[in-house]
Chains A and B, each alone.
Chain A
Amino acid sequence: MVIRAFTKPASYFVLIAVSLFFLMPVYVMIITSLKPLDEITLDQMWTLPSSLDFSSYGEAFSKLAPNLMNSFYLVIPATLLSALLGAMSGYVLSKWRFRGSEILFTLMLFGMFIPYQSILIPLIQFLREAGLYNSIPGLIFVHVVYGIPITTLMFRNFYVNIPDEMIESAKIDGANFLGVFRHIMVPLSVSGFVVVAIWQFTNIWNEFLFAVTITTADQQPVMVALQNLSGSQIVQWNVQMAGALLAALPTLLVYILLGKYFVRGLLAGSVKG
């Protein structure tokens, strides 16, 4: 009991200290981006702004707005399409298994872990041939294809938990393959869809390697534009901070509003689910 009385405050102390470390970048990001121009000197980096000034957001937004839109055009269709493909293949791999389906599933899963550098050169050659290079549809295609393993895995793990008896009775009632999918699997996996959609939304929004190699200039998603904005003192760092915050906002909002589902997606990524 004595130990417990001692450990509790100590635990709080450690947790608060670590929290401060975790929040430090956010603090700097927010106060810097809200400072008026004359307070943006390095020695005032940590002090609170004397008055709120949103002009760095205006500047960052004017620089990033087209790329933000690109990201939305990219992320929404890519998320929906890859979720749909994942739901379809996850359904077959969980409820219509056949000889070799486990091997096939494992083969598909491997695609989720590969370093994408190892397919990048042929991918770019292919996109060029297909006329998709340097275009948002090209990036959508890429994210749909390389999203298949993770979405398949997630849906499969959801569907496995749906009892086979329900499917059996539906079949006795005359439902066929599509009927089972439509009337049992889809309604029962709405939360699964949410998890997958959030996961794909976050991943595709945050993705950088494909974005930087497949698109240029006005086709670039926001992360590449942010990277171009950063790293030098030509663009003032309050603008960089505001830009970073703007680029992070959509995924942060998703996390704040739907954090539970986000964490579920996180855990689903570890294969076993």
Chain B
Amino acid sequence: MTLRLFKAALAALALGSAALPSLASAQEFERPVRIVVPYAPGGTSDILARLIAPKLSEAIGQSVVVENKPGAAGNIGADSVAKAKPDGHTLLLADIGTLALAPTVFPDLTFNVQNDLAPVGMVMFAPYVLAVHPSVPAKNVAELVAYAKANPGKLAAANSGIGGLNHITAIALAKDLGIEWKTVPYKGGSAASRAVVSGESNVIINGATATLPFVTNGQLVGIAVTGEERLAALPNVETFKEAKLPLADAGTWQGVMTTGGTPPEVVARLNAELAKILAMPEIKDRVAEQGGSVRPGSPDDAKAWLANAIKNWGEVARAADVKIN
């Protein structure tokens, strides 16, 4: 009896192992997956990565580790992903807008953004807020332009670091509006918004996460926002599009990439899991807390977006003549 049972079990096992190969190909992840965040802990990318990691781990049945590799505007972390084994086990969660500018702004870049990295999918978008210190008598774009023209040299636009998308946006904006302002670089977005609150600089263009709290509590005055529609928190502030400003699609674009040359089916699997995670209400809520909205999409959409951004924003950066080294 027991022997027969044993034999039956053996047979079942043999059958099972015969069926295993097909199962194994569905199980693409045989070791822990790393999500590299190329910035210090605590920023938007880091928070997103730490939100996504446990959910992804559940879905693929492997542990998912978040690793912070800060330095050189995110290029050190991105480089480590670009040079990893192309099997989808090393992911990058970063501001793709900044990554799109890198080839133009950093001619010494150690990797090729389009070939050495493969987009998995977009994660979120948070619009930029253009705001001024209350000492600047302007409430909309027209008044700001009028003030700038009447008071040359009075405006100083803070940005979160040289060569970043908000730096380029400030230069492009001034050019388009025919006004002049100094662009003052700070170390990171929160230092920049603090400087504008204290009045050291008096204009800021930066992500809603860092800027919106100061506008809603009245320490800064909102002038315009990027993105397709007005912000729910600032219904009276016009969009870049309404004000006919360039770079209306600028903002914080967070996305997931993996190593270039990763098999498309692995990327597809990752994208499918990412889409499921981004559809979870708790994730949506946390992203909204960061001042943005989730942007699920296919890898090809992300690829096209990246190519477009590299071309368009690169042109703007070249026109602004921002080059590092």
- Are chains A and B native binding partners rather than an unrelated pairing? no
Q: Residues of B at under 8 Å CB distance from A? A: none
